[in-house]
Structure 1
């Protein structure tokens, strides 16, 4: 009898979690919605995707789209899972802005395999692309998915990349997407929506309750003396809270501080 040999695509498809299992789709969505921090949401997503055969993952969002790259780092969140050395070069070295996979996230909608995304844009071999290919060859994984998450939250650009484990090629990626693409896209969208509603990691500790209250009233159009009356504080005390809030948010004006706090979901307005 001839033995049946399964490739990595077959292994992933055979081992895909049942929707109601602990790592299944329904449990994942429920858990993501219950997460109370960005780190917790990302950790839960990474665990679930690891169970589905993904070894390297990245997610990013940005409130502003002011640069050629499509990302303003000051107003962005970038999360990743995988070898740190890869992301040191790929993200911190800003190689990602030269990758056709990123161009898909920036300029297209929906999801695509890596090969489909590359085919949609010029794949001229630039020095930057040579570095990207060398990184991918060094750290493994030749197939995966990229997706644009923009449009789900007004004013928030977003994208995700999922790298399948070594041994899965483009045909395997397409087979996996045919069977589980809807689940992967839904999970990525749920992650993006949940992250968009949570404060940036560590940001809530940078503002005191009084500072946030002052900014909330300022966001409602109240002047300093009005805020002082509403909060039963002196005008100098309100001015002190505003100054400290501006310093905590690295802002030059109260209007900028309000914008930063709103961007980071720190205000209840």
Structure 2
């Protein structure tokens, strides 16, 4: 067994020096092999055929599997991707039922992945507020066992690889415009609306008039350039202006 601490130190240094996705993919492929895995996939969870430039994607998965995955638009529904939204720690694929409710379609998808040569794996979530969710997965092929003694190193490698890919991707992306900023009162009104309160109820809670609540919510929608309150809520959650814990408080 290699000295994995030294391998990870090499990998972190190499990732920091990578200046393009081709170099990063080569480095990640080498580290994948050194840790005892067969394949890697580093990706934002998007429908890549709909928006090929909307996110990061590096992999050496079997092409037949990738073609199936893309043509069936599995970027958002893949159980591995969905499970990575429920934890910040890396997880073995056989632990997914502990994170999400697995449907019959999910089980069929995993069986199909197995048939395409992805028999087991370990996924490291990479979720950044204001961006599409993402992950870095390491998989094994037929006849190989998951390298259990390397999983802690795979966690570190996955995090470093995704951040390295983000650095390269963001450097080449068109800089986004400034994000809308809500006032404290607009945010308060939106949170109470998200909790199911009417404008009248929010007004009683906040000690302001119903008309003021309505005005704050309209101004918040105007700042985001949306007409519907549902759209405002989604955008605010995506940007991290409010969080699910703000809504589902105890």
Same fold (TM over 0.5): yes
What TM-score does the superposition give when structure 1 sets the normalisation length?
0.55
Q: Could you report, residue by residue, the CA deviation over 1:174-227 in whole angstroms, capped at 9, with x for unpaired residues?
A: xx34x33221111111111111111469x58xxxxxxx9xx89x98xxxxxxxx
Counterpart contact for 2:56–2:166, Cα < 8 Å: no
Question: Residue 123 of structure 1: SS of its match in structure 2?
Answer: coil
For residues 61-140 of structure 1, what are the structure 2 equivalents within 5 Å? 61=44, 74-126=53-105, 129-130=107-108, 132-140=109-117
Matched pairs, number: 177
Would the aligned equivalents of 1:112 and 1:147 in 2 still touch at CA under 8 Å?
A: yes
Is 1:32 aligned to residue 2 of structure 2?
Answer: no
User: Structure 1: which 4+ aligned runs deviate by more than 6 Å?
Assistant: none
**Unmatched segments (≥5 aa) in structure 1:** 1-14, 205-211, 220-269
Change in Cα spacing, 1:52 to 1:123, as seen in structure 2 (3 Å) is: same
Shift of 1:110: 1.4
The whole-number CA distance in structure 2 between the counterparts of 1:80 and 1:123 is 25
Match of 2:5 among 19, 26, 33: 19
Q: Decide whether the 8 Å contact of 1:99 with 1:129 is kept in 2.
A: no
Distance in 2 of aligned mates of 1:38 and 1:106: 25
Structure 1: distance between partners of 2:132 and 2:123: 17
Structure 1 match to 2:136: 160
Q: Does structure 2 conserve the Cα–Cα contact (< 8 Å) formed by 1:61 and 1:78?
A: yes
Q: 1:41 aligns with which of 20, 24, 32?
A: 24
CA deviations on 1:116-157 (whole Å, 9 max, x unpaired) are: 02342222212x652x24432322242211121124x76463
* C-alpha contact 1:149 1:192 (8 A) present in aligned 2: yes
Q: CA deviation at 1:74?
A: 4.9
Residue 41 (structure 2) aligns with: 58
The separation in 2 between residues aligned to 1:91 and 1:16, in whole angstroms, is 36
- Asked if structure 1 preserves the Cα contact closer than 8 Å seen for 2:56 and 2:165, the reply is no
